[in-house]
Structure 1
Amino acid sequence: MLRIKVGRGIGLLLVAMLGMQLLAGCRQAEKPAQEAEPKPSTEQLQRVELLNRTADDMYKKVMQGDVMGGRDALQQLSDQVTTIRYEGLTTLDGLHALTEAVTQGKRVFNAARFSPDEGQVAAAQIRLATDALSHPEQPMWLQYYKLLQDDVNGIEQAAKDKEAQQFQKSVFLFERHISIIHPSLLISRDATDVEKLDSLVTFMSGQARTEKEPYQPVGNLLPTVRQMLDKLFLKKDTTAFLPVVDDRNPILWTFAIGSVILAALGFAGWRLAKKDNGLVLVRKKDEA
């Protein structure tokens, strides 16, 4: 058995080097997050605000029965959409959702036979979508949370009672309300989560249209639907097990975490140097 003496200075130096590597890793991990979200310019924000005011004007006219006035405002809004740069405002999915809502709205208002019901839905979709762009922190579509929860409760109760007519009505009402906020969801939230909700809604709607008893399959799915709604509406803390980081002072948090790491590694190095007076036992292969 050989005895090799390890100097405290070298041991602590290695600990410090390892700690600095970990610190560097923390700081590099911050950079992508900081550089990933460009800030919209003042001009962009002004154009979006104008777009939002035009959408509000259109919505009010449509709800008051002024179809011609609503159609004219929608045309103005359509022209304004093409003058805005959307970097830092939303994703490509969000931009596509906005333009699709406007295009679909123009189809509804220019149809040979105008449907007031479809017109109101189209106006609400566009109004909520432009608001989601101009008020990303507190968009109006968040007010739909209670309404959607009531829809899900109605579906659940109808499934328990096995009332086919009420069950279908509740499912289709839920589907309709989701369709109204759908462009806004794609503007404000991750498209993957929105697609998951779409899959759930499609399954429920398909089950409601079937002649077989759909109650159990849909009932089994409702807890997942509630969870997805909570996630999209930010009603539950999905990052409960992650450390809270102050975005205003990320460097301070980096050094705070790094200090804890260094302290732990330093203590381990001191124990290593202290053990057997700084001697580490190394066994030869023939002594193993």
Structure 2
Amino acid sequence: MLGARNWKWTGILMMLMITGTLLLGCSSVGQSKVAAIPKPSQEQLHKVELLNKTADDMYQKVMKGNFEGGRVGLQQLSDQVPQIRFEGITSVEGINALTETITQAKRVFNAAKINAGEGQVYAAKIRLATDALTHSNQPMWLQYYKLLQDDVNLLEQAAKQQSKADLQKIAAQLDQHYGVIHPSLLISRSPTDVEKMDSLNTFVKTQISSSAEPYKNILNAVTPMRQTLDKLFMKRETTAYLPYADQQNPILWTLVIGSVIMMALGFAGWRLSRKNDGLVTVQRIDEA
């Protein structure tokens, strides 16, 4: 009985030690992945800051009606972008979104007659995009969360009231607001999450234009749209995850927890081996 009991405790300790080893192994893999991500150099950061300043100057001029000054600033941006290495700053999708937005803006600003509203929209797109490159933690585009949520709420209300005219108007409004931050999303967030929101937005527009009664399908799309927006804007409840610091440095916390487990297991194993040569004393009931 004593031998079986001893083997039972030994087995438990072995399982816990394996768990601790796996935790440490996972943290090592995580560390190697983090180390593989290149950090931007000071030269890169300086060039991106200059790009952001140029975009801000262009935006301010366009908002004041100085489209010629905006055109000059846009050309400066077009010249600066190829000189910047974006490794460690954004993804390939983010770079493509920025360059494509600048290219589209140049078409608008180089037209024989500039559409003022369209020019301002592109100026805002570029301004938000360059800000996303320089302020990864708190980019300005996060301010669009309430605006987009309000659009989705209005979309739901119009679908419940089965008002197709309102649906068309609100869907166009949602599409415009979402389009302004779309390049910034590709710079700051996972392309997979952005593509999901793209698909939902396209689905709503398609339903309104092709279906006589799109109300039910649009209502079904409302909840996924809200959930996707929450994910893109990182509006999840942080209080549900403890400790909070784990979100900031999960690898460090994994190492700490794994180290504590290994030390505790080592001490427990030492005590077990020292006490009665590893045997557990068991008293009879009548001797207790």
Q: TM-score, normalised by structure 2?
A: 0.83
Question: What code does the residue aligned with 2:83 have?
Answer: T
Matched, 1:132 2:132: yes
Say whether the 8 Å CA contact 1:231–1:238 is kept in structure 2: no
Question: CA offset at residue 140 of structure 1?
Answer: 0.5
Kindly tell me: are residues 33 and 243 of structure 1, through their superposed partners in 2, closer, same or farther at Cα, counting changes over 3 Å?
A: farther
Question: What code does the residue aligned with 2:206 have?
Answer: G
Give distance in 2, aligned partners of 1:229 and 1:219.
Answer: 16
Mean CA deviation greater in 244-253 or 224-233: 244-253
Give distance in 2, aligned partners of 1:51 and 1:170.
Answer: 34
Report % sequence identity: 50
Cα displacement string for residues 96-143 of structure 1 (whole angstroms, at most 9, x for unaligned residues): 111111111111111233221211111111110000001111100000
Question: What code does the residue aligned with 2:157 have?
Answer: Q
Question: CA offset at residue 248 of structure 1?
Answer: 5.8
Mean CA deviation greater in 238-247 or 31-40: 238-247
SS at match of 2:102: helix
Please give the residue correspondences for 1:1-288 in structure 2 after superposition, counting only pairs within 5 Å. Answer: 18=18, 21-22=21-22, 24-237=24-237, 240=240, 244=244, 245=246, 250-251=251-252, 253-260=254-261, 263=264, 274=279
Question: What code does the residue aligned with 1:105 have?
Answer: A
Kindly tell me: are residues 147 and 4 of structure 1, through their superposed partners in 2, closer, same or farther at Cα, counting changes over 3 Å?
A: closer
Give distance in 1, aligned partners of 2:239 and 2:97.
Answer: 28
Give distance in 2, aligned partners of 1:238 and 1:248.
Answer: 14
Cα displacement string for residues 150-171 of structure 1 (whole angstroms, at most 9, x for unaligned residues): 1111111111112221111001
SS at match of 2:83: coil
Q: TM-score, normalised by structure 1?
A: 0.83
Question: CA offset at residue 26 of structure 1?
Answer: 3.5
Kindly tell me: are residues 226 and 265 of structure 1, through their superposed partners in 2, closer, same or farther at Cα, counting changes over 3 Å?
A: farther
Say whether the 8 Å CA contact 1:197–1:225 is kept in structure 2: yes
Say whether the 8 Å CA contact 1:12–1:266 is kept in structure 2: no
Mean CA deviation greater in 7-16 or 175-184: 7-16
Cα displacement string for residues 188-224 of structure 1 (whole angstroms, at most 9, x for unaligned residues): 0000000000000000011121251111110111011
Give distance in 2, aligned partners of 1:227 and 1:14.
Answer: 42
SS at match of 1:90: coil
Q: Which residue of 2 aligns with 1:281?
A: none
Cα displacement string for residues 25-55 of structure 1 (whole angstroms, at most 9, x for unaligned residues): 1332332342143221111111111111111
Give distance in 2, aligned partners of 1:8 and 1:212.
Answer: 69
Give distance in 2, aligned partners of 1:154 and 1:248.
Answer: 39
Kindly tell me: are residues 44 and 267 of structure 1, through their superposed partners in 2, closer, same or farther at Cα, counting changes over 3 Å?
A: same
SS at match of 1:177: helix
Give distance in 1, aligned partners of 2:5 and 2:165.
Answer: 84
Kindly tell me: are residues 233 and 5 of structure 1, through their superposed partners in 2, closer, same or farther at Cα, counting changes over 3 Å?
A: closer
Larger relative contact order (CA 8 Å, sep ≥ 6) = 1
Say whether the 8 Å CA contact 1:93–1:191 is kept in structure 2: yes
Say whether the 8 Å CA contact 1:23–1:255 is kept in structure 2: no
Question: CA offset at residue 20 of structure 1?
Answer: 6.3
Say whether the 8 Å CA contact 2:23–2:254 is kept in structure 1: no
Give distance in 1, aligned partners of 2:144 and 2:247.
Answer: 30
Runs of 5+ in structure 1 lacking a partner?
A: 278-288
Question: CA offset at residue 69 of structure 1?
Answer: 0.9
Between the two proteins, the alignment pairs up a number of residues equal to 275
Give distance in 1, aligned partners of 2:110 and 2:92.
Answer: 27
Kindly tell me: are residues 149 and 248 of structure 1, through their superposed partners in 2, closer, same or farther at Cα, counting changes over 3 Å?
A: closer
Say whether the 8 Å CA contact 1:40–1:87 is kept in structure 2: yes
Mean CA deviation greater in 190-199 or 255-264: 255-264
Give distance in 2, aligned partners of 1:88 and 1:30.
Answer: 17
